[in-house]
Structure 1
């Protein structure tokens, strides 16, 4: 009996560009990420969140089901980033330090929110308790976060919060170890010198 050859899948062939070929990978990833974020809500509540994104460019989403967040005070981030207060510089620093994981900036509250796996508040409980002295908080179950629409990637006075490091794809989150290292380095800098305390 001869082995049957597997048919060659068209999905594996390269896509060649041209006038009639349009590839919107960024838009598809953003749409997939929106669906993923909205799946943190019960189905009946998703339309409300979509409307909030449309009307206000920010929606309140629950933490602790698919995603949690680690709230980082700006002074901690600025201390380890070298006290650079320029948004673009800090955003680039966070993208590198957190290996491209998504981060929301709340410039009015002077905070950053690193989006992490939902399990982090429980699995890093002891560390999270220590981090409280640095004003770092893990937002898990029974917490809510104002999440900007995914295309809000620049500071905007109408919205307040924006994506300091945009979500690259659905379920793409900051690694807990990278977040822990950032907190440790920032807290070391803040305690070691007082010049960033009010930054």
Structure 2
């Protein structure tokens, strides 16, 4: 894909994300000023907050997925990493799961806001949030079934480790 096409795609994704707010221009201003915009969850998309240890537990257990990159890449959609809080945020469709996700994951929907990095900010930083798995196109979100599988697998591994 050419640089122009890449730029157009990034702008399309940024516009789609910004439209989670009643005033999308606010998101664009925040990205320009601070590199992170507070976006509303629950209407256009939601997020599942995942503890770093949950993701690492799955990576240790699954031979085919030996790194957090492989584990999170298998979710089929965008993931934000917030290294300062040691959390990942998988962006998912705005439909809450039917049950509590457990001690290492939480569904964030209507009434919540998420600090979303500028589209294109995908380089790790010690403090700033970045796109661990970038959004491929507007509306391309993680598969909620895969996210739930990750949560259940990671929780089981962490429970076994705690018992040992």
Task: Tell me whether the two structures share a fold, i.e. TM-score over 0.5.
Answer: yes
1:109 is aligned to 85
Cα distance in 1 for partners of 2:149, 2:155 equals: 10
Cα distance in 1 for partners of 2:5, 2:72 equals: 24
Normalised by the length of structure 1, the TM-score is 0.73
Residue 37 in 1 paired to residue 17 in 2? yes
Find the residue that maps to 2:15 and give its secondary structure. helix
Instruction: Count the aligned residue pairs.
Output: 157
Structure 2: gaps (5+ residues)? 62-66
| Superposed structure 1 runs of 4+ greater than 6 Å apart | none
Q: Compared with structure 1, are the counterparts of its residues 54 and 23 closer, same or farther at alpha carbon in structure 2 (3 Å cutoff)?
A: closer
* Cα shift readout 1:27-57 (whole Å, capped 9, x = no counterpart): 2221111110011111xx3222211101111
Bigger Rg, which one: 1
Residue 118 in 1 paired to residue 83 in 2? no
2:58 is aligned to 80
Normalised by the length of structure 2, the TM-score is 0.88
Find the residue that maps to 2:85 and give its secondary structure. coil
Residue 28 in 1 paired to residue 24 in 2? no
Per the TM alignment, residue 189 of structure 1 is displaced from its structure 2 partner at its CA by: 0.9
* Cα shift readout 1:75-107 (whole Å, capped 9, x = no counterpart): 101111129xxxxx4234311x213x1000011
CA RMSD of aligned residues (A): 1.8
